[in-house]
Structure 1
Amino acid sequence: MADKTDIFDRLKKDHDDHRKLLEKMAGTSGESEERADLLAQFTREVKSHAAAEEQALYSTMLRKPETTGETRHSVAEHHEIEEMLNDLAATDMSSSAWLAKFKDLRHDYEHHIDEEEDDHFPDFAKYLTEDDIAHMRSVFDRRKEAEKGHAEVTPEKMEDAKE
């Protein structure tokens, strides 16, 4: 039987990379080139990861009644995080509002990936077939690379940024 953990190991590696980017961003201050570059990198990484994860993993898990609830929950969180990223990009990086929004984003994103790793992935592994695993392997990396080319920081208009 195929190893069910390798797809989850790939997802966790991305999560670890995202945690490192968040840590680096937390160490920046004001409107700096470093902060802007890290936010752009984090945004591209997270958006491409989420799209690949949804196509490879979550599309598979939606077909399994036992995991539909967890799957819908995670996909909804992906959309919330994307909105938070867009809002953060539209906020003045030197403002206290940016820092508050960043802290909220970091908290929510880390909660999301911890929940995936600790709860969802172990539950999902119970229901995966060899065909499911082969599908996920073939889709994840290809979709992630394709999405990276299109993923961008897409700020809302400043006047639309949530306060």
Structure 2
Amino acid sequence: MGHGGDVIQELTADHREVDALFARIEALPPADPGRRELADRITVELVRHSVTEEQHLYPTVRRYVDDGDDLADEEIAEHGEVERMLRELEDCRPGDGRFDELVTGLRSSVRAHADDEENRLFPLLAEVCSAAALEDLGERVRSAREHAPVHPHPSAPDTPPANGSLAPGTGMVDRLRDLLTGRGRQE
């Protein structure tokens, strides 16, 4: 990902990209090995997205949006549930009934989360932040994504300052793990 624009445009584009990946995985036959590759891509994109929101979007929401603490806490709780499902999905294989259940559950949870952000959180943020501030936030999200973890870490801290200090190191370890295992390697 990394689309350009302000934070709202950036994150909305992420939502569309992940939704398209879900559509692709659901279009394949149940035991198709391509479903595992797509599940891995979905995992990478969702983890990066969540981490960058937790590092940059939600602290801004807490600071500037009325009832921002409650909104950010709700969003972070939803991220935690998605990360738990992603972690479980990593251990499943296409053709396993649990794989299909998790993909269906993930798509539903992610869609509900994205709809909530787009219809409630983003408009509130747009009301209280200048265009320049939203552009800057979009750039910070894109930059953070480059170093964000690519595997779910449901027990990792999800609020500042701990989440920001651990993410780059965790991301490096995740990428090394993928290099050694061949995860994400294009054939």
TM-score (structure 1 length as normaliser): 0.81
Q: Name the CA distance, whole Å, in 2 between partners of 1:52 and 1:138.
A: 11
Q: Paired residue for 2:83?
A: 82
Whether the aligned pair in 2 keeps the contact of 1:61 and 1:124 (CA below 8 Å) is yes
Q: Name the CA distance, whole Å, in 2 between partners of 1:133 and 1:10.
A: 10
Residue 131 and residue 88 in structure 1: after superposition, are their counterparts in 2 closer, same or farther (change >3 A)?
A: same
Q: CA deviation at 1:129?
A: 4.5
Q: Paired residue for 1:142?
A: 143
Q: Paired residue for 1:35?
A: 35
Q: Name the CA distance, whole Å, in 2 between partners of 1:153 and 1:28.
A: 24
Residue 128 and residue 92 in structure 1: after superposition, are their counterparts in 2 closer, same or farther (change >3 A)?
A: same
Describe how 1:78-157 pairs up with structure 2 within 5 A: 78-129=79-130, 132-133=133-134, 135-147=136-148, 150-152=149-151
Q: Name the CA distance, whole Å, in 1 between partners of 2:128 and 2:122.
A: 10
Whether the aligned pair in 2 keeps the contact of 1:43 and 1:152 (CA below 8 Å) is yes
Q: Name the CA distance, whole Å, in 2 between partners of 1:137 and 1:24.
A: 27
Whether the aligned pair in 1 keeps the contact of 2:47 and 2:152 (CA below 8 Å) is no
Q: Name the CA distance, whole Å, in 2 between partners of 1:6 and 1:130.
A: 8
Higher relative contact order (CA 8 A, sep 6+): 1
Residue 99 and residue 130 in structure 1: after superposition, are their counterparts in 2 closer, same or farther (change >3 A)?
A: closer
Q: CA deviation at 1:22?
A: 0.5
Q: Identity percentage over the alignment?
A: 24
Q: Name the CA distance, whole Å, in 2 between partners of 1:139 and 1:80.
A: 25
Q: Name the CA distance, whole Å, in 2 between partners of 1:65 and 1:112.
A: 18
Number of residue pairs aligned between Structure 1 and Structure 2: 148
Q: Paired residue for 1:25?
A: 25
Whether the aligned pair in 1 keeps the contact of 2:8 and 2:134 (CA below 8 Å) is no
Whether the aligned pair in 1 keeps the contact of 2:6 and 2:137 (CA below 8 Å) is no
Q: CA deviation at 1:30?
A: 3.0
Unmatched 5+ stretches in structure 2: 154-187
Describe how 1:45-56 pairs up with structure 2 within 5 A: 45-56=45-56
TM-score (structure 2 length as normaliser): 0.71
